[in-house]
Structure 1
Amino acid sequence: MSSHAQAAEAYLTASVENAPPIKIVRMLYQGALRFLLQAEAEDPRDPHSSFIEHCSSADAIVAELRLSLREDVGGEDIVQQLKGLYLFCEAEIGRSMLDRTAEPLPGVRTVLAKLLEAWQHVEVSNHRAAA
Structure 2
Amino acid sequence: MAYQQPAQAYQSNSVTTATPGELTLMLYNGALKFIKQAKAAIDNKKWDKANEYNTKAQDIISELIITLNRQYPVAEQMLLLYEYLQRRLVEANIKKDIEILEEVEGLVVEFRDTWKQAMILAKTQG
User: Fold-level match, TM-score > 0.5?
Assistant: yes
The structure 1 segments of at least 4 consecutive aligned residues displaced by more than 6 Å after TM superposition are none
Q: CA RMSD in A?
A: 1.8
Query: Aligned partners of 1:58 and 1:10: how far apart in 2?
Result: 23
Residue 7 of structure 1: how far off its partner (Å): 1.6
Greater mean deviation of Cα atoms: 83-92 or 98-107:
98-107
Q: How big is the shift at 1:95?
A: 0.4
Unaligned runs of 5+ in 1: none
Q: How does 1:23-34 map to 2 (within 5 A)?
A: 23-34=22-33
Residue matched to 1:13: 12
Matches within 5 A, 1:87-106: 87-106=83-102
Change in 2 beyond 3 A, CA 1:117/1:126 = same
Q: How does 1:45-56 map to 2 (within 5 A)?
A: 46=45, 49-56=48-55
Larger Rg: 1
- Identical columns (%): 25
Matching residue of 2:66: 67
CA distance in 2, matches of 1:15, 1:91: 30
Sort the Cα spacing of 1:48 and 1:91 in 2 relative to 1 into closer, same or farther, 3 A.
Answer: closer
Please name the residue that 2:121 is paired with. 125
TM-score computed with the length of structure 2 as normaliser: 0.90
Counterparts of 1:12 and 1:46, CA distance in 2? 31
Distance between the aligned counterparts of 2:118 and 2:47, measured in 1?
41
Deviation of 1:49 after TM superposition, in Å, equals: 4.7
Is the aligned partner of 1:86 residue 2:70?
Answer: no
Worse-matched range after superposition: 100-109 or 14-23: 100-109
**Contact 1:43/1:49, CA 8 A, preserved across alignment:** no
